[in-house]
Amino acid sequence: MVGANFNYQFIDWEHGDIGEGFDHEGTLSATIFSPNITIGLTDWWNITFSQVIGRRYMTWGVDGVSIHHRDEGTESNFDNAIGGYLGDSRILLRFLALNAGSGPGLRLFLGGGVGIPSKNTLKSDPFFLDGDEKKPHRHFSMSEGIYKAIFETQFFVKRIKNPVFVGGTFSIEQPLGKSEWGYKGSRLVDFSFTAFSKKIKIIGDKSLSKRDMKRIIDPLTEFGATFYPKNKNTLPLYIKGSNYLTPINYLELKGSSQCKSSVMLAALLTPGETKLKCKPSRNHTELLFKYLKIPIKIKKIKNFEIIKIKGRQSFKAFHYNVPSDISSSAFFIVLTLLSKGSKLILEKVLVNKSRAGVIDILNKMGAKITLKNKKNYKGEMVSDIHVRSSKSLKSINCPSKLNSSAIDEFLIIFLAAAKAKGVSYFKNLEELNKKESRRLDWGSKILSMMGVKNKLIKNHGIKIWGQPNLKLNKKYEIKNYLKDHRVMAMSTIAALTLGGKWKIHNPESIKTSFPSFLKILQKDLGSKINI
């Protein structure tokens, strides 16, 4: 590890006449730079080399000068001093006596070493020079010219709240005898205390940076977090925690699992009980809490859920294999449904009821999708998904209660509705326009481009007139969609199943959620895609 310390001091000084016929005044400055390198010898031992480099300089601020008062700097030789920019060198060997690992707990280092003097030192008394002739002389140096023994202790406590690190350093530098010129060095005892709080910068790509984060900022601010800049609701943002978190009662009306989860996770670090009243949404966080045996109470009333969380709970680290993603799977499910004579098996996919609404919706439209080998994995339901192509899909008046469980899959559902017999209705999809792009608007735009009659309706909905025999033979271009990965994937599946020649800009946007998407289509399924 390479590091450095920098220190600058500036002093204005002044005192009256001491018998030379003029007042004394001037400035004294010091610019000190100390690079260092630490090398780990083993898991328990490290060694540090450091070097002081710098300059001390005094200016004389009045007209009268003498051999005792005038400008002087440590870089220049004087009759009583050797000039230069190097100060003392240090070598320290440290032993890690206590280590709590990567989590919270105490870290204790014990160490010792030696300070090695440089030649930039005083050779004689700056006030009473030897000999009869008094010559211009220097009053200070970069080194005392003395070897020193160094003893050091470092201790730090890592916490799960701000300040994240609390600790300090205690050290003693003891002179080993006198300098070559007969000077006795000074003993230095140093104690420093440090409390380090994290201020985290949150960034996002172009599309994510346009999303309104107020729904997250508001509840976390109530807990005690601070966001910078003030009154800014889009990324990038800085967030700083607090030592004095306060439990909250929060009302969430959007049906956003992201907002709900942010409140629940913040509640873990907060003393007391946090209460959350929210619209139903995906329940991954609730299931995880239950699996970790974190005290949580859930009650359903009418169209809301009441969640109560008791904070300051401890739980152990655990291993977790993330199941396959239903949102990514949805594109291949619809690809199979719309491809004649096709079969597909997707293994170990998360089919949580609050997340797998796309399967319910497509099956209501006449799809042949079955779940096999279902099992509970650490609180979540996982299953193999078997899909067969469909000879005919039918329209749907989609129940709004399924919206939250399929919110990320509606673009590909719209594509299935474009091939269904009859008129499909989807409503209360305002959340769809608050994603990386205005997905409801983009779904309508792409359908219109394909020649599929559709209409955006009140209550943030869309009406789609399906065409079971839909075939495309024109050129289509998808651009300016804010690099939304789901718009890109929907367009790709439309091209592969319905025909036509498509040019889709920014294909790299799919890397946001599915980096291997195009590779699977090309190599595993033999799709003709030029990138």
Matching residue, tokens 């790709």:
492
DSSP state of 78: B
- Best CA proximity match to 357, nearest among 286, 245, 449, 280: 280
What's the mean pLDDT when you consider all of the chain?
A: 90
Say whether pLDDT at 131 is over 60.
no
The predicted pLDDT at position 354 comes to 93
Provide the pLDDT confidence category of residue 126 given band limits of 50, 70 and 90: low
Poorest-confidence range of 3-17, 236-250, 499-513? 3-17
Element counts in the chain: helices (H) and strands (E):
9, 24
The predicted pLDDT at position 375 comes to 96
Cα within 13 Å of Cα(248), Cβ side: 24
The predicted pLDDT at position 90 comes to 94
Of 60-69, 285-294, 301-310, 327-336, highest mean pLDDT: 327-336
Q: Which residues of 352-362 are buried (b: 16+ CB within 10 A; e: fewer)?
A: beebbbbbbbb
The 10s digit of each residue's pLDDT in 380-428 is 999 999 999 998 999 999 999 999 999 999 999 999 999 999 999 999 9
- In this prediction, residues 75-100 reach a mean pLDDT of 90
Percent of the chain predicted with pLDDT > 90: 60
Strands 423-426 and 461-465: antiparallel
Enumerate residues 6+ apart whose C-beta is below 8 A from 373: 383, 384
Structure tokens at 253: 């009306």
Say whether pLDDT at 370 is over 90.
yes
Say whether pLDDT at 185 is over 70.
yes
Rounded distance between C-alpha atoms, residue 269 and residue 223, angstroms? 10
- 8 Å CB contact between 75 and 83: yes
Rounded distance between C-alpha atoms, residue 463 and residue 453, angstroms? 8
Q: Is 360 a catalytic residue?
A: no
Domains of the chain: 2-197 (no CATH), 200-310 (3.65.10.10), 326-524 (3.65.10.10)
The 10s digit of each residue's pLDDT in 246-299 is 999 999 998 889 899 999 999 988 889 999 999 989 999 999 999 989 889 999
Enumerate residues 6+ apart whose C-beta is below 8 A from 9: 28, 29, 30
Say whether pLDDT at 128 is over 60.
no
The 10s digit of each residue's pLDDT in 466-512 is 999 999 999 999 999 888 999 999 999 999 999 999 999 999 999 98
Rounded distance between C-alpha atoms, residue 259 and residue 244, angstroms? 21
- 8 Å CB contact between 45 and 95: yes
Radius of gyration of the chain (CA): 35
Matching residue, tokens 């730079």:
33
Poorest-confidence range of 2-6, 232-236, 332-336, 445-449? 2-6
Provide the pLDDT confidence category of residue 102 given band limits of 50, 70 and 90: low
Given the residues 130, 212, 408, 484, select the one marked as catalytic.
408
- In this prediction, residues 154-177 reach a mean pLDDT of 85
Poorest-confidence range of 242-246, 355-359, 468-472? 242-246
Rounded distance between C-alpha atoms, residue 467 and residue 475, angstroms? 19
